[in-house]
């Protein structure tokens, strides 16, 4: 039997908190992710400092600021045995698209270093994930889970905590709070 195609998101699923740590360093603040009012955590930057922020950001590597989500590596390694496993991640920086090439490079290096058991040909750098075919999707963004799949796992994050049970059901999402829960669902 062919393996099922599983597409996993990167930011806030495999690694986390890079942006909030950068924003705090830039602004000299102590924000928590929960202080962000939207998916776009950069909205914490005052509008009149966006250009300055983009310049500051472009001289740094977001992935120097992240931590790997607990158990992500070990469960991914097991999933890679049982599924045709891809990592799909968006990389265009909304506030300054022209610096996105560097972000792409930083993402690629981070994945090679921390998920060495996944063939780099299975890294997908993309904006519209609906274009991808998948049997199973894992993402923290409800919008990016809209493409077809038999199973859609919504990884809990600061910006999706308020989704109601009804909303989850309507969209066929199953909420997962951590990688152990994913392991239970996909590796039993």
Residues in contact with Mg ion by CB under 5 A are 9, 11-12, 140
Q: Using CA atoms, how far apart are residues 100 and 27, in angstroms rounded to an integer?
A: 22
Smallest distance from the beta carbon of 140 to Mg ion, in angstroms? 4
Smallest distance from the beta carbon of 52 to Mg ion, in angstroms? 25
Q: Using CA atoms, how far apart are residues 153 and 21, in angstroms rounded to an integer?
A: 26
Looking at beta carbons only, is 11 or 17 nearer to Mg ion?
A: 11
133: how many CB neighbours lie within 10 A of its CB?
9
Smallest distance from the beta carbon of 178 to Mg ion, in angstroms? 15
Looking at beta carbons only, is 44 or 89 nearer to Mg ion?
A: 89
Looking at beta carbons only, is 11 or 111 nearer to Mg ion?
A: 11
Q: Where do the H-state alpha helices sit in 9-71? A: 18-27, 50-58
Smallest distance from the beta carbon of 39 to Mg ion, in angstroms? 9
Angle, helices 179-186/72-82, rounded to nearest 10 degrees: 20
Q: Using CA atoms, how far apart are residues 170 and 177, in angstroms rounded to an integer?
A: 19
Smallest distance from the beta carbon of 144 to Mg ion, in angstroms? 7
| Rounded alpha-carbon distances, angstroms, from residue 69 to 5, 57, 95, 105 | 22, 22, 26, 21
The values of phi and psi at residue 46, to 5°, are -60, 140
Looking at beta carbons only, is 11 or 45 nearer to Mg ion?
A: 11
Looking at beta carbons only, is 12 or 45 nearer to Mg ion?
A: 12
């Amino acid at each position: 039997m062919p393996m099922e195609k599983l597409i996993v998101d990167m930011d806030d699923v495999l690694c986390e908190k890079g942006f909030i740590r950068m924003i705090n360093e830039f602004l000299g603040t102590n924000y928590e992710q929960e202080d962000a009012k939207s998916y776009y955590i950069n909205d914490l930057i005052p509008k009149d400092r966006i250009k300055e922020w983009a310049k500051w950001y472009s001289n740094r590597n977001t992935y120097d600021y992240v931590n790997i989500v607990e158990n992500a590596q070990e469960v991914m390694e097991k999933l890679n045995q049982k599924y045709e496993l891809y990592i799909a991640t968006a990389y265009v920086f909304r506030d300054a698209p022209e610096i996105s090439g560097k972000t792409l490079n930083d993402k690629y290096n981070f994945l090679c270093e921390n998920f060495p058991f996944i063939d780099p040909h299975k890294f997908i750098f993309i904006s519209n994930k609906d274009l991808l075919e998948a049997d199973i999707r894992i993402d923290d963004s409800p919008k990016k889970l809209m493409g077809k799949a038999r199973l859609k796992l919504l990884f809990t994050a600061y910006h999706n905590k308020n989704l109601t049970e009804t909303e989850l059901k309507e969209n066929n999402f199953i909420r997962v709070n951590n990688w152990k829960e994913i392991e239970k669902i996909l590796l039993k």
